Chain A
Amino acid sequence: MGAPGSRERTPAWVHAEGVGVRFHFDRHAHAVTPALARLRRSGTQTWGLHELSFRVRPGEGVALIGPSGSGKTTLLRLIAGVMSPDIGRLDVRGRVGSLLSVEAGLHGLLTGRENAVLLGVLAGMSRAESKAALDEIKVATKLDDAFDRPVLSYSEGMRARLGFAVADYTDPDVLVLDEVHEALDHEFRSIVAVRAQHALRTGGIVLAAGHDHPLLATICDRALLLSEGRVVADGPFEEVRRAYLGAEA
Chain B
Amino acid sequence: MGRGASGADRSLRQRSRRWTDVLVSLTVTDLKVRYGRGGWQLVKWIVDPFALVGVYLALVTLVLDRPGEAPGLSLACAVVPFQLITTTVVNAMSAVSARRSIVLNMGFNRTLIPLSGALTETVAFGASLFLLVVLMAVYTVAPTPAMLWLPVAVAVTLIFAVGVAYPAALLGVWMPDIGNFVMSFVRVLFFIAPGLIPLSQISGTAHDLLLINPMTGIFESYRDALLYGDAPGAFELLYPAALGAVLLAVFVPIFRAEQRQFAKILEP
Contacts and interface: CB of A to CB of B under 8 A. Distances in A.
A217 interface: no
Interface in A68-112: 77, 80-84, 96, 98-101, 103-107, 109-110
A119 B174 CA distance: 26
Nearest to B29: A118
B264 A23 contact: yes
Contacts of A119: 102, 106
Interface in B224-241: none
B263 interface: yes
B192 interface: no
A34 interface: yes
A122 interface: yes
Contact of B32 (A84, A98, A114): A114
A84 B106 contact: no
A33 interface: yes
Given A80-B107, A82-B105, A127 B265 contact: no
Contacts of B144: none
A119 B101 CA distance: 11
A117 interface: yes
A233 interface: no
A32 B170 CA distance: 12
A114 B29 contact: yes
Nearest to B23: A121
Contacts of B105: 80, 82, 98-101, 103-105, 163
Interface in B9-28: 17-18, 21-22, 24-26
Nearest to A33: B261
Interface in A158-185: 163
Interface in B241-261: 254, 257-258, 260-261
Interface residues of B, number: 31
Interface in B189-231: none
Interface in A41-73: none
Interface string B161-179: 0000000000001100000
Q: Considering residues B25, B173, B254, B268, which has the most beta carbons from chain A within 10 angstroms of its beta carbon?
A: B25
A35 interface: yes
A33 B173 contact: yes
A110 B254 CA distance: 30
B33 interface: yes
A165 B197 CA distance: 57
A205 interface: no
Main secondary structure of the interface of B (DSSP, over half): helix
Nearest to B107: A81
Q: Considering residues B17, B21, B33, B264, which has the most beta carbons from chain A within 10 angstroms of its beta carbon?
A: B264
Given A123-B106, A127-B21, A105 B33 contact: no
Contacts of A100: 104-105
Contact of B264 (A81, A83, A98): A83
A127 B22 CA distance: 8
B60 to A, nearest CB: 38
A36 interface: yes
Contact of B107 (A34, A35, A96, A104): A96
A162 to B, nearest CB: 12
A126 interface: yes
Contacts of B22: 121-122
A101 B268 contact: yes
A107 to B, nearest CB: 6
Contacts of A33: 173-174, 258, 261-262, 264-265
A226 to B, nearest CB: 18
A105 B17 contact: no
Contacts of A110: 29, 32-33
Interface in B21-47: 21-22, 24-26, 29, 32-33
8 contacts: A82-B104, A82-B105, A82-B106, A103-B101, A107-B33, A123-B106, A126-B17, A127-B21
The 7 nearest A-B residue pairs measured at CB = A81-B107, A105-B105, A84-B260, A33-B261, A31-B265, A121-B25, A103-B101
Interface of B: 17-18, 21-22, 24-26, 29, 32-33, 99, 101-108, 173-174, 254, 257-258, 260-265, 268
